Amino acid sequence: MTITQVLKFDTKCDVKLIDARGPRFGAILTAIVLAAILASASLPLLIWQLSVFAIGAFVGPQATPYAWIYRTFVKPRLRGDVPTEDTRPPQFAQVVGFLFALTATVALILEASLVFDVAIGFALAAAFLNAAFNFCLGCEMYLLIARAQGAVSQRKNREDSYNLPSL
């Protein structure tokens, strides 16, 4: 699924499913890398994580190196039913992560340490929420935006925009 399809928030297009445990495993690795970046301000590590986010954002979360590690080493050892989820919310979360990592990269190069710390801190908090509590903040943002867009597109006239249903 292309990034333009994801950013259209179209709920009527074909759905591509992925193993729902994969993004959580990726969030664990992402949280570890982001914590190391925050502690060391390492530009090579930050560029690595930026590239992982870029692959996840522009190709899909199933194409990241973390997804390959999950498919190769972790998934074969798991038993039971495979929970699946739509790939669009995790891909949108990768877009958000990419934007935070890009901001942090520019801030680190320009020696804007406060901006760097805040950007990495926000990305780390989101990755930790997903890793520890299986709460994907970017995925929830995607669903909220898709619902809001659907509610706005269903209005009949201009006055209906003031009477949106509860989201």
Q: Does a structural domain hold residue 117?
A: yes
pLDDT tens string 140-160: 999 999 888 877 777 656 555
Helix axes 113-133, 137-153, angle to 10 degrees: 90
Q: How many domains does the chain have?
A: 1
Question: Residue 95's domain spans which residues?
Answer: 3-10+17-136
What's the farthest any 2 CA atoms get from each other in the chain? 56
CA 83 from chain centre, in angstroms, equals: 18
Cα distances from 38 to residues 32, 75, 81, 130, in angstroms, run: 10, 29, 37, 18
DSSP-assigned letter for residue 163: S
Distance CA 30, CA 66 (A): 8
pLDDT tens string 90-141: 999 999 999 999 999 999 999 999 999 999 999 999 999 999 999 999 999 9
Q: Does a structural domain hold residue 152?
A: no
The pTM for the full model equals 0.88
